[in-house]
Structure 1
C-alpha cells in the first residue's frame, strides 16, 4: 500500500515542521503516518527549493495526498516587530484618541486592515500552487507573537554607516498586528478556496501570545514542539 504523502511548502516557518519530523523519526517508537516532505522555498538569501521544483512536486501529488502551504502571516513582523521612527498607536473600532496619544500617529484598525488586505491580495503564488494541486490544500500562517523577547532588539546600519539599535515594539502592539493580519489572511484564504489550518490547541497563553513551551530561539519563530502539533493536525485530516 502506497503511503499518503504530506508535502509542506513555504517560507521559513516550514522549518519547525521539518525539525519535528526529523526528531520523530529518531525516536524508538516512531510509526509513520504519512510520507512527510518539507520544502522551504528558495529566496536570494534563504531556502532550499526553487519554486519550479516545488511546483513539479505539487503537481505530482495524488488525490489522497495533502498539500500544506505557509506563505501568509509575516507582515505583522515586518511592520510591527520594531519601534518605528514615527511612534504610532493602533486605534480600535469605536475607540477615541486619548490625551496620552498626543505625538503619536493614530492608525485606525480599518485603515490597517485595508492596507494589509491590499498587500495580501497581491499574493499570486498561493493561487498557482492551489491550481497545480490535485489534492486537499491547507495553509497555516506564522505563529502568534511572543510575550517575552530575549534580546534588546536588533542593530541596524544607517546610510551614514552609524549603527543604531532597533527596539522591539510593546507586546500589545505586536499582538494587535498579528490578530489583524491573521483575520485578513484568513478572509483571503477563504476567498481563494484554501483551507485554514488553526493555531494548535494550547499554543496560546491566556492573553493570546505564543505559549512559552512553543517559543523558538529567535524573535519570530516557533519551535519543533509547535511543529509537532502541526504534524499531528496534518495527519488527522
Structure 2
C-alpha cells in the first residue's frame, strides 16, 4: 500500500491479481517511479478505496482489473464440449458442439462489465492519461505438478479445455476488452509478444503461482511494454 507522503510516479498500475506480477517486478528492479497495487489488499471492502491512493501523482495510470473472464468461460470443459469459429484462427474440432461466436461474445461481454466498472471507478480518481492492460495469455498445457486457482478445484474432473479453444476465447476476450475500454477513451495494451511462444501461449517459465497468472519475469516484460506504449504515447 502507498505511504502517506505525496509520490510522483511515471506509471501507476492499479488492478487486482494481475497487478501482482508487475508489483514484484518493479520491486525487484528497484523502480521508484513505477508502482503497482492489487487494490483489494488493505481495503476492508476488497474494492478500490481512493483515499488509500490520494497521495500518488502518476503521469500515466494503467488499469489491470478483471482479466480472468476467458478462463471462467472456457478453462474447464463444458457439457457438451464445444468449439467455435473465430478468425483469424482457422482451427475447429468437428466432433464438438458448434457454438455461435456471437453467443460466447455476449457471455464474455457480460462478464467483462464488472471489471470494467471497477476500473472506471479507479480511473475517475486520477487526472492523467489512462490505459487498460490485457491479461496474461493462455497456457498451453498442464502436468501433474500444476496448481490451478482454487475457484476451479472442484471442477477439474471435467478436464481442461483444449488449448486452441482457450486461445480463441482469450483473443475474443481481449477484443471485447479493447472495445469496452475504447468506448471510454482508454486504449488497451496487449500482452508482451516476448511472453508468447510460437503459437501464442504463455511461456512456461513465466507462469505465476498458477498458469493463469504471470510471475515477476512476466511482470518485467509487461513493464517493458508499458514503457514503450504508455510513456511514449
Superposition TM-score, scaled by structure 2 size: 0.78
Q: Distance in 2 between matches of 1:49 and 1:99?
A: 45
Given that 1:55 and 1:132 are in contact with CA atoms closer than 8 Å, whether structure 2 keeps it comes out as: yes
Aligned residue for 1:178, secondary structure, equals helix
Given that 2:136 and 2:214 are in contact with CA atoms closer than 8 Å, whether structure 1 keeps it comes out as: yes
Counterpart residue number, 2:4: none
Q: How does 1:40-189 map to 2 (within 5 A)?
A: 40-42=38-40, 47-50=41-44, 54-62=49-57, 65-92=59-86, 100-101=94-95, 104-122=96-114, 123-151=116-144, 155-156=153-154, 165-189=157-181
Q: Distance in 2 between matches of 1:230 and 1:3?
A: 21
Q: Distance in 2 between matches of 1:37 and 1:118?
A: 30
The RMSD of aligned alpha carbons is 3.0
Q: Distance in 1 between matches of 2:26 and 2:199?
A: 29
Query: Which residue among 15, 21, 24 is the counterpart of 1:19?
Result: 24
Rate the CA distance shift 1:127–1:3 in 2: closer, same or farther, 3 A.
closer
Deviations along 1:199-232, whole A, 9 cap, x unmatched? 1131111111112332234131111111012223
| Corresponding residue pairs, total | 214
Superposition TM-score, scaled by structure 1 size: 0.77
Q: Distance in 2 between matches of 1:128 and 1:172?
A: 34
Given that 1:92 and 1:108 are in contact with CA atoms closer than 8 Å, whether structure 2 keeps it comes out as: no
Aligned residue for 2:18, secondary structure, equals helix
1:206 aligns with 2:198: yes
Counterpart residue number, 1:29: none
Q: Distance in 2 between matches of 1:39 and 1:99?
A: 40
Given that 1:59 and 1:134 are in contact with CA atoms closer than 8 Å, whether structure 2 keeps it comes out as: no
